[in-house]
Amino acid sequence: MNPPQATSSRVTETAPDTPSPSDQAALWRQRFESELEQRLRETGDTPGDLLESMRYSALAGGKRMRPLLVYGAGQALGIDVDELHGIAAAIELIHAYSLIHDDLPAMDDDDIRRGRPTNHRVYGQSTAILAGDALQALAFEVLANDANLSQNPAAQVRVIGAVAHACGAAGMAGGQVLDLAAIDKTIDATALETMHRLKTGALIRVSATAPALYALAPADQASALSDYGACVGLAFQIHDDVLDVTASSQQTGKPSQGDAARNKPAFPSVLGLERSRERASELVEKATRSLSELPGDTRALAWLAGYAIRREG
């Protein structure tokens, strides 16, 4: 007889056929691209170059940080990450729409994004506005039509509500208002953090918490993922501001020193470069500590927290 060994789970975790977190992220990214591409075909009969414009921005690559957080959270909860493609796609569609609208002349007036002309520079402002609008609608259509989510419609509705709240007036859209209002102003670190908690933080946080809503996870696990997401979201943004000062435009795919050129408050100008880096590291440590509450494999989430402040673009 071979009784189960107390160390069996640790053995599994370090089994030689388990990909490293970095390889795992690459595999998830690859799978995500095809899942997203598929959902950008199923939009029905779409007039003119609207669908092309939507696909231009949504399928432009990028780090896919939010989808990776969705999958990482699923793995940390011990659920099959293949059930989460709908959530991952919907959140990334919302992220894509927000970038199109943020780049508009009436907003940040950016010409380059991910090393290519911004959406409105290619398709014109009216199509760009409508592509953003339609991407937001598609995100909710994807959530409503997802076969895995539909297994538990009550949980599905909670995911939809959480995503809607995260991208609305009290989340992403509100954060962009604060961002634009801060131009040419002096604001302190607290106000800057508040802005980022809304502008990018809310959608990053819901990337980590939506899988918990889907999986009907206990409150302490949902809360741990919420803390993790809030810390990683802010760390990610601080590092973005640091890269804006320190990285080349080739690395980031957008013009460097953009915050200074636009007279936008940013962490390096408010806290100083060194303190900004420290603050980002503290947040990543805090995020990592919250992972101990979770029942599944948390290596991907731990790696992603580090990646948020290690990446060079």
- Give the residues lining the site for its own copies (CB under 8 A): 43-51, 54, 97-98, 101, 104, 106-107, 124-127, 129-130, 132-134, 136-138, 140-141, 143-145, 150, 153-154, 156-158, 160-161, 163-165, 167-171, 173-178, 180-181, 198
> What is the spatial distance between Cα 7 and Cα 232, in angstroms, rounded to a whole number?
31
Q: Supply 190's token pair.
A: 């607290």
Read off the amino acid at residue 221. Q
Smallest gap from residue 38 Cβ to its own copies (A): 15
- Of 4 and 44, which CB lies nearer to its own copies in the complex structure? 44
Query: What does the alpha-carbon distance between residue 82 and residue 74 come to, in Å, rounded to a whole number?
Result: 9
Q: Give the count of beta carbons closer than 10 Å to the beta carbon of residue 135.
A: 27
Specify whether the CB–CB gap between 84 and 76 falls below 8 A: no
On the 0-12 / 13-18 / 19+ scale of CB atoms within 10 A, 57 is: buried
Least distance between its own copies and beta carbon 132 (Å): 7
Nearer to its own copies, 36 or 198 (CB): 198
Q: Min. distance of Cβ 64 from its own copies in angstroms? A: 22
Residue (198 or 243) nearer to its own copies, CB = 198
C-beta closer to its own copies: residue 139 or 294? 139
CA neighbor of 144 nearest in space, from 131, 135, 154, 157? 157
Short-list 176, 204, 194, CA closest to 63: 204
Closest CB to its own copies among residues 126, 250: 126
Residues 6 or more apart whose Cβ sits within 8 Å of residue 313: 243, 247, 251, 252, 253
Closest CA to 135 of 105, 166, 96, 164: 96
Minimum Å gap between C-beta 172 and its own copies is: 8
**Minimum CB distance to its own copies smaller for 92 or for 297:** 92
Tell the smallest beta-carbon distance from residue 6 to its own copies (Å): 41
> CB 148 → its own copies: shortest distance, Å?
13
Nearer to its own copies, 78 or 124 (CB): 124
Position 78: which residue type?
Answer: G
Under DSSP, the state recorded for 3 is: P
Pick the closer one to its own copies by CB: 176 or 298: 176
Smallest separation, CB 44 to its own copies (Å): 3
* CB of 112 vs its own copies, minimal distance in Å: 20
CA–CA gap between residue 255 and residue 234 (Å, rounded): 22
Exposed, middle or buried, 169 (CB in 10 Å: 0-12/13-18/19+)?
A: exposed
